[in-house]
A and B are shown apart, each in its own frame.
Chain A
Amino acid sequence: MSAVLPRPPVLPGPIEWLRANLFSNIPNALLTVVALYLIWRYLPPFVNWVFIDAIWRAPSSTACRAAAEAGACWAFIDEKHRFILFGTYPFEEHWRPGVATLLFLALYAVSAMRRFWRPWLALVWLAGLALIGILMWGGVFGLSYVENERWGGLVLTLILATFGIVFAFPLSILLALGRRSEMPVVRSFCVIYIELIRGVPLISLLFMASVVMPLFLPSGVTVDKLLRAQIALILFSAAYLAEVVRGGLQAIPRGQYEAAEALGLSFGKRTVLIILPQALKISIPPLVNTFIGLFKDTSLVVIIGLFDLLLALKTAINEPAWSGVGVEAYLFASLVYFAFCYAMSQYSQRLERDLSRGPVARALKDT
């Protein structure tokens, strides 16, 4: 074993780095100077506004603005954090949506770890979601019943996004398989469904859920608004997820289908044991990207008046005591959404790198 070792990397010093990356030629140097000027001009005032001059505690926005050179009025978030997190949920019961939020975060964390990708994870999810349902609704174990018109805030956003994904995912697998089916009726139904949903804006589906769906039901039967919006979100995301899953199915080499058939496996077994595990694995990164889209899209329920994180903030700034803190409120909303979406996108990128080194990806590359 006398392998030739690669030359040790030459680490550039700071001066070399500056010359190579900022001042490589005259236009580049000019760009750098302009960029530095803009940073020097706008960054310090912004940092001042956000942190140094910001008011962290005050009873109202007038008190915030009273201070000379006042920065951001974060006191608004401090005063209203309960409302932003939990909406109009009964105040003394706030621990219940609080625990539910933590449960959601725990479920996300567990599912992100690849060594927990086992069949029992589905059971964990089932138990977790059931527990969240019990916490939120109550009515058993001595918990008082809270009708879901009163649910709101961040926890509602998490509910809409999570249940949307959990139910849309299996539906999307069926749709993707249906679109590749050899039965013309099934195939055309799936094609029409997917293209129809992808062709219209989500908001038209949400309007449909809020004003048209009640007309479809027999008189006397009512489905509440939250559930209707949730159904619309599920039907919408299923169409987008189905296209991602279909992409995964298409990437599986023909040989896998033929080998499974040659082994004499039935259609169900071929699909569940051979095709889907491989197809889903390679479509995980684009699936996560679609999840990010769904998470962002839950904010649209504001338009039909559901009390999610965004509408809670919007309502809070309409109070006379807190008029004029809209910029702070929406920056805070941006921060919360960004935290969730950025975490997901970083995760998806890392996963993509890991999986591209895995056996499935290698096998696919070789064919």
Chain B
Amino acid sequence: MVFVGWYFVSNTLRNLDERKIATGFAFLAREAGFEIGETSGFAYGAADTYLRALGIGLANTFRIAAVGVVLATILGTLLGLARLSRNWLIARFAAVYVEVMRNIPLLVQLFFWYTIISESLPGPKDALTPVPGLFLTNRGIAFPVLHYDPAQWWVLAALLAGAVIAWRLVRWAKRRQAATGEQFPALSVGLGITLGLSLLVLLAVPHEIDRPALSGFNFTGGAALTPEFAALLFGLVIYTAAFIAEIVRAGVLAVDRGQFEAANALGLPRRRAMRLVILPQALRVIVPPMTSQYLNLTKNSSLAVAIGYPDLVSIANTTLNQTGQAIEGILIIMLVYLTISLSISAFMNWYNRRVALKGARA
């Protein structure tokens, strides 16, 4: 095995020498010389270094993964519960969705959405507006946002303060229940305080809404998703949601019937039984495969290169085409993804240890 390794390395060095390709990571400090379509809010120009370009790519990867994970979880959970619904139509719809979406390659779905957005949607002049303020065009999807004002940071502060109050409230309610047996709806009151406080602060600070408006050939104002981002997001969310739906369904089904019945017999109201008895047990089954779906979504976001969203892989690809330093370029991609997946599996092991049944071994 050592010999085989040495053979490949010596071949590689000779080939690199013959083709006059430099080795090492010195190229990272050189000027990249290409523009990047979207930069996740960071400053970047063609005169910046390759290192910065790759950093932008990584930020773009994280942005699509973060939004994708949140939306896929919501959609997937809804579908998973829908498939368990007693309503035949809803359950059938969810079943058909899952079967269709997970049996079509993600890449085909990405091309499909990208074609729908860039070919089938109208130009900005006659944009589709399914909801007032939302514009679907072949240049992307424009929607209104809050106009930024530094004072809006106070809203975040209010949110945090509300969370702290709610947490204290829950602890107090628990102590009181333990001492007197009286219950207090701490969770909903806490949530109400948090949201109410943030809303009050929001109304106190400047809060103009920035609406997209047609000017010339495109929309200005508001915020917009590029066609690439939107297609990648739709594809990833719709595809991953099918897998998440199955995980959620399996998790709920894994909870023994007796647990429902026991909770009922104890006289727990339905919602309380769900929160205290069923969910903790279902989550133990759901979380490990769910994290691996999140990891899959992050790895699948690398298909961005096929529709031109500038994620890490697509920028590393441009870099290695320009510099010829293929080994280093691919090494960077692999190291970044390995770091991400090792961190996620470390988290998963920690979680599994935490929720493992006491005395039982997985």
A interface residues, Cβ below 8 angstroms from B: 21-22, 24, 28, 31-32, 35-36, 189, 196, 198-201, 203-204, 207-208, 211-212, 214-219, 292, 296-297, 299-300, 302-303, 310, 314, 324, 326-327, 330-331, 333-334, 337-338, 341-342, 345
The number of chain B residues with a CB under 8 A from chain A is: 49
Whether A196 lies near B317 (C-beta < 8 A) is no
CA distance A338 to B303 in the complex (A): 20
CB pair A196–B327 under 8 Å, yes or no, is no
Contact present for B103 and A216 (CB under 8 Å): no
> Which one of B125-133, B193-201, B333-341 is at the A interface?
B333-341
From B99, B112, B320, give the contact of A211 (CB < 8 A).
B320
Whether a CB of chain A sits under 8 angstroms from the CB of B330 is yes
B46 adjacent to chain A (CB < 8 Å): no
Q: How many A-B residue pairs have CB under 8 A?
A: 141
The interface stretch among B9-17, B162-170, B209-217 is B9-17
Q: Which residue of B lies closest to A23 (CB)?
A: B87
Give the residue among B86, B104, B341 with the most A Cβ atoms within 10 A. Answer: B104
Known: A212-B330, A327-B120, A345-B103. A201 touches B300 (CB 8 A): yes
CB of B116 within 8 A of CB of A327, answer yes
B89 on the A face (CB < 8 A): yes
Would you give 26 A-B contacts (Cβ < 8 Å), ordered by A? A21-B88, A22-B87, A24-B86, A28-B87, A31-B89, A35-B87, A196-B338, A198-B341, A199-B337, A199-B338, A199-B342, A200-B299, A201-B333, A203-B302, A207-B317, A217-B15, A218-B11, A219-B14, A296-B106, A302-B107, A327-B116, A330-B112, A331-B112, A333-B108, A334-B112, A337-B104
* Residues in B94-109 with C-beta less than 8 Å from chain A: 99-100, 103-109
Chain A's interface: helix, strand, loop or mixed, by majority? helix
Q: How long is the Cα–Cα vector from A32 to B89 in the complex, in angstroms?
A: 7
Which residues of B are in contact with A by a Cβ distance under 8 Å? 1, 8, 11-12, 14-16, 18, 85-90, 93, 99-100, 103-109, 111-112, 115-116, 119-120, 299-300, 302-303, 305-306, 313, 317, 320, 326-327, 329-330, 333-334, 337-338, 341-342
Residues of A within 8 Å of B115, CB to CB, are 326-327, 330
Q: How far is the CA of A297 from the CA of B320 in the complex (A)?
A: 24
* Residue contact A36 to B89, C-beta cutoff 8 Å: yes
State the CA gap A268–B112 with chains docked (Å).
50
B229 to chain A, nearest CB (A): 18
* Docked-complex contact B105 and A22, CB < 8 angstroms: no
A204 to B18, CA, bound (A): 25
